[in-house]
Structure 1
Amino acid sequence: MRISRRGVLTAAGLGLLGIGTAGCAPATNSGGRSSATTDGHAAMDRRLGAEWEPHELTVMSWPTEAIWGEDLQDVRDDLASVAAAIAAYEPVVLLASPGDEEDAAYAVGDDVEILTVPVDDLWARDTVPVFVEGPAGIEGVDLNFNGWGGKQFHEHDAGVGAAVLAEFGIPRVVASLVAEGGSLETDGQGTLLVTESSIVNDNRNPGLWRDEIEQRLMDLLGMRKVIWFDGVYDQDITDAHIDSLVRFVAPGVVLLDVPGPGAPDDVWSRSSEQARSVLASATDAAGRPIEVVELPQPDFAKIRGDGDDFLASYVNFFIANGAVFVPEFGDRRADRRAQDVLQEQFPDRDILPLAIDTVASGGGGIHCATHDLPARPGE
């Protein structure tokens, strides 16, 4: 039986992954062309760009049988369709474990480059480093992936950060905390959105208070303001990443995931309401109030997928060069509304819906499965 990414699993010890507690990440050479440093630059020396800025390429990962079992072919079909769709707009590099390269290449076609890197699962958003503009160009911030707080043992995914940076020849910055790319959302102008549950959590950063984590994030990513949401603890494997709740679409404008028709009054609907209340009085790093545009979920009675972990959030979209890729779930009215909302926010980009039923059944979406490398300054 497939292990769901977002199902609540028995915690594996952090030591199994070779990751220390926050603040103890070693500053060692990665063994490739990229060298590792700790996060010591002042905030003004780094900038985490917005996803709508130009990309050099998109990185994805080819899932393995060890994780997906009998659902492997279906999830690979989903991933292949996503990779091929993005490749029509920008280069795509697909990480595949030794022995899986031929199958991956056959599935995605000639427009997608295959890079041999040992991986476990498809969630590149969380395992690939966060790319920032640093004093000498692009740097990769390795957030010390530890299986979402030790909930799963990912022997290979824990090393993806160092491996990717070595292959790309990008300097590696080893973060002094544990997090995942899906837990961070920015406007590219110094504002960061984060859920407390996904990072102010003893399963990732024991002994660190929110203020200390905030300062480290600001230094790592060049932020001037962090807006915190409660999130949801211990109900999904990510502890409620921000990228399925609130996303920037422009400076001062966010899309908010809200419950669809007939949704229960549960921890997820209350999380959405809490986020709305925070945004109502929040300002960004430039002092602007934040405009909130609702992006309702589909009616679960009308969607194709099923399962307790099914992620039916349109907010988990991915912005590529010239296009926005959004999941479609089979509720025609809700699917069309989500596409219309995104087209209004991105009038100069193509809005392309993609069916990802098996990926969604594992608790993730298009954004979770992709990671953008920003265009190098001057290119």
Structure 2
Amino acid sequence: MKNRQPAEWSPHQSVWTAWPSATDLWLDDLAPAREEVGALIRAIDDGGSGEIVEVLAANESAVADAEAALRGTRAHVHHAPFGDIWLRDTGPIFVRGEGGLTAVDFGFNGWGGKYDLPNDDTVAASIARLTHTPLRSSDWIFEGGAIDVDGTGLAVTTEQCLLNPNRNPGMSKGEIEARLSDDLGIERLLWLGDGLLNDHTDGHVDNLARFAAPGVLLLPEAASFDDPNAGVFADARARAEAFGLKVIGVPSPGRVICDGDVVPASYMNFYIGNSVVVVPLYGAPNDDAAVEVIGSLFPERKAVGLRADHILTGGGSFHCITQQMPAID
């Protein structure tokens, strides 16, 4: 059996995340971002019904803070260095094959050289060591948030990210598809165009398009006439339908402003746990509607909406800060 990244809705033995601690990165948002991360962890733990949450903490002070904040959950806190909390991109991607699980460590260059932080390139190896999982290194630049998979060998990505010259200059679509096949067992790849406006990841697809079942793709729908991503959503839908996928629309948060700028707020950055699906909220008019639509697609899980405004100031949301470890069949 070929090694393949399972769909996120398949069972997890645990999920990895990290505790915010860098005051120079988070500034006044540090304390409230910690509260939002803590709320996410408690939701995933689900009173003991969900998967185990494994938490990286960059220093001893952060270890103590995380342990105090997460008391009463089954979360495990591990002292390991990292630059920032975006483990979807810096952590390993776990693939499953005949030999069990393998952790794949990709090259990482700070999202095209924009945020090159010490120790982010060591996270995958740290998690592989802590989980006693064989580590395989792949020698090209790639981040986990750049794709979403449905577990059958189908994945979705954006041209804006994977064809960006700040990642792998000169690498063609065909070469990227071959690499993804070798590393993650991806046999078919839907290429969308651009990602969300002002997304510093250069258009990660987990802010735009997510699978809810094999061949079923969720896409945002423009919230109003001034939705800054209306054209992106329309183009993505046209490409997905032409590819032959079933598309389900989810209301967009619309135009969300922070410090005078449009920010890449997205309900698509939800996390699918063993017992819950956790949807980021922004105080937008469509918050409740988005939770209802996404929750209806995962009827065996509880749909939980949690505010993620302060995590978003760092550049992402719940999916960006998690990396699931699949259960072993």
Q: Does 2:230 align with 1:269? A: yes
Gaps of 5+ in 2: none
Tell me which residue corresponds to 1:189. Answer: 152
Tell me which residue corresponds to 1:47. Answer: 4
Matches of 1:367 and 1:162 in 2, distance apart? 20
Q: TM-score, normalised by structure 1?
A: 0.81
Tell me which residue corresponds to 2:45. Answer: 87
SS of residue paired to 2:141: coil
Matches of 1:86 and 1:94 in 2, distance apart? 12
| Identity %, equivalent residues | 37
Question: Cα 1:69–1:329, aligned 2, differ >3 Å: closer, same or farther?
Answer: closer
Counterpart mapping for 1:336-347 below 5 A: 336-347=288-299
Tell me which residue corresponds to 1:319. Answer: 272
How far residue 259 of structure 1 moved from its aligned partner, in angstroms, is 2.3
Matches of 2:72 and 2:120 in 1, distance apart? 25
Gaps of 5+ in 1: 1-43, 283-288
Matches of 2:128 and 2:262 in 1, distance apart? 32
Tell me which residue corresponds to 2:125. Answer: 162
Counterpart mapping for 1:87-236 below 5 A: 87-88=45-46, 89-99=50-60, 100-111=62-73, 112-232=75-195, 235-236=198-199
SS of residue paired to 2:223: coil
Matches of 2:310 and 2:226 in 1, distance apart? 22
Q: Does 2:280 align with 1:280? A: no
Matches of 1:154 and 1:323 in 2, distance apart? 32
Matched residue count: 323
Q: Deviations over 1:123-156 (max 9, x none)?
A: 1111111110134110111122211011112111
Q: Deviations over 1:196-229 (max 9, x none)?
A: 2212222111221111111111111112111111
SS of residue paired to 1:143: strand
Tell me which residue corresponds to 2:250. Answer: 295
Bigger Cα Rg? 1
Matches of 1:323 and 1:353 in 2, distance apart? 10
Question: Cα 1:360–1:368, aligned 2, differ >3 Å: closer, same or farther?
Answer: same
Tell me which residue corresponds to 2:306. Answer: 354
SS of residue paired to 2:261: coil
**Cα pair 1:186 1:248 within 8 Å, conserved:** yes
**Cα pair 1:305 1:358 within 8 Å, conserved:** no
Matches of 1:244 and 1:306 in 2, distance apart? 21
Cα RMSD, aligned residues only: 1.9
How far residue 358 of structure 1 moved from its aligned partner, in angstroms, is 0.4
How far residue 321 of structure 1 moved from its aligned partner, in angstroms, is 0.4
